Homo-oligomer: A and B are copies of this chain.
């Protein structure tokens, strides 16, 4: 298989991208990589060119660029060329750590949606701190500012396939993020979505989940509209980060006893940080387009880039896109 890499997107591009690609290349002998970007800069960080092709371009989309305009106008940017390679069948999947909106736009306009899918959804893997398995999938976390019942229903199907095909979960438990556990909770969008998910014979729908229990491992796929999903995802990150900071500062501001305790506790904090670190599961996946697309965090280091590439490879190997296309081709017309 061949992966198309936007080598110029991300805070530490192309250095960490190139290093991450080399890590993944060394691990997975069945993968070839095409890197799009400034050849001299890429070569500067490249140790070994085995199974790595460079397609030179001088142009790249910046983090602050207006996404849709950038993708339409910057035809020779590293991102657009990488997406073009996927569209033309020269590569099987797309990776970027750059401008999220631009990756979204390039995926929609260049690679295109799977037939029958109204709105692709951005999907992330989060830690399940209690219960098993130790992670779950949530979508949409921000590809769409507004969603309809039909979109939420499709997110459920997309998440269901992702969880079973890529994460290896049998009969994934699908839950709807809502502001109460009971069936009649939420605004009309969530009330109606509840009924549609409940009535879908292809989904193992387990009901509403409240954001209080998000990390408690009660579902394998959490379905949400992009606005709420984005807010809750960022809130989880922010609260965890604020708490770790608070713990650190409290220890630093304390006496010798507590400081000693802090030192002794270091191995435990490593375990905790590792459990909370969901970048080990890879990046955010855009589900619903005609090829696997992954967005790594802008600040990704080489390990995180390599994790995202491992995930992209799993998606290609599991035939996720074709399975989704087959499903939506055979599916009777959606409710609304």
Contacts and interface: CB of A to CB of B under 8 A. Distances in A.
Contacts of A271: 250, 254
B265 A238 contact: no
Nearest to A246: B129
A260 B254 contact: no
A234 interface: yes
B234 A145 contact: no
A242 B260 CA distance: 25
Interface residues of A, number: 55
B275 A246 contact: yes
A129 B272 contact: no
Contacts of A187: 145-146, 227
Contacts of A272: 243, 246-247, 250
A179 interface: yes
Contact of A231 (B179, B215, B243, B254): B179
Interface stretch (A10-18, A194-202, A205-213, A300-308): A205-213
A117 B276 CA distance: 43
B232 A254 contact: no
A265 B261 contact: yes
Nearest to A210: B234
A258 B264 contact: yes
